[in-house]
Amino acid sequence: MSKFDEATQAIRVDENTYDVCLDPGYAIGGPLNGGYLMAVILRAAVDASPFEHPVSQTAQFLKAPVPGPAQVRIEPLKAGRTAAFARATLVQDGVAHIEGLITTATLQDVEPVYSGAAAPGMPPIEECAKLPDPKPESGMTLNAQLELLFDPPTIGWLKGEPSGRPESRAYFRMAEPQDPDPYVLALAVDVLPPVVFSAGMRGWAPTVDLTWHLRALPAPGWLTLVGSGRLISDGWFDEEVEVRDSTGRLIAQSRQLARVGRG
């Protein structure tokens, strides 16, 4: 079992309740990363499902949970021959912090009938750059759990040279050797810096609502993350992320609505 598996494990208490312990190693300057929290919830939802894979997850972030004990409560809604639907709630100290819906199914390893446009071009890994290591007092513990190597133009904001477009592109893998799986993908879709950074904005940008889809099971190796936004307006922005595996195949998609950074 990897460190990430341990940090996201859910222990069954009864038919609809799971105990979890939220790990402080996945913080982003205080709050816990939303993708990590979604992975925790998925562990419980998949265990309670008759199917193997989480093909869709929607999460509304009502309140930021803190590291420590919590529970995931699963409410089955319907189970058919090919998919099951459930409501999942992350509860801490008796208060709902994350509410959402999860669809599970069993994916097959098949060739796509149609796969759309080719992946956007990325420079070779050796030409990509990492973010500076955060200061210990920053509370950015997430960085130690993973490796992100960025297409240099999308982190020009580090030098005060944002591209002017909401975008972010990077190669991603866990710091501890681990083949990507659906739970790693839940983290991957929310692990890029907010795309508004490249549009010249800064500060913590809290996610309000995030939906992601698992489209295929990933091959081993680096993942490629391509993030973009369509509209920044009235203190809100959207962010879409496509995830491709080491073969270039599209394996996950996400869209989130978030608040523009404060401070």
> Considering the chain, what is the average pLDDT of its residues?
94
pLDDT tens across 106-149, in order?
999 888 888 777 777 899 999 999 998 888 778 889 999 999 99
CA distances from 199 to 59, 74, 100, 205 (A): 26, 39, 30, 13
Task: Give the structural domain span for 224.
Answer: 3-106+123-259
The answer to whether position 101 is within a domain reads yes
Q: Is the pLDDT of residue 216 over 90?
A: yes
Tens of pLDDT along 88-110? 999 999 999 999 999 999 999 88
> Does residue 93 form part of some domain?
yes
Identify the sign of the CA torsion 104, 105, 111, 113: negative
Within a domain: 115: no
> Does residue 138 fall inside a structural domain?
yes
Residue 112 lies in a domain: no
Report the CATH number at residue 139. Answer: 2.40.160.210
117 located within any domain: no
pLDDT score at 137? 78
Pairwise CA distance, residues 99 & 43, whole Å: 15
Considering the domain boundaries, does residue 17 fall inside one? yes
pLDDT at residue 203, as a whole number: 85
pLDDT of res. 43: 98
Structure tokens at 186: 């839940």
Instruction: Scan for tokens 């491709």, then name that residue.
Output: 244
Extract the tokens encoding 249: 């195949």
Of 138, 152, 106, the closest CA to residue 204 belongs to 138
Residue 263: band (very low, low, confident or very high) from pLDDT cuts 50, 70, 90: low
In this structure, the strands spanning 84-92 and 17-22 are unpaired
Tens-place pLDDT, residues 3-60: 999 999 999 999 999 999 999 999 998 899 999 999 999 999 999 999 999 999 999 9
Which are the contacts of 170, defined by CB distance < 8 A and separation ≥ 6?
A: 128, 148, 149, 150, 151, 154, 192, 224, 225
107 near 214, Cβ under 8 Å? yes
Does residue 16 contact residue 10 with C-beta atoms inside 8 Å? Answer: no
Based on the structure, what is the number of domains in the chain?
A: 1
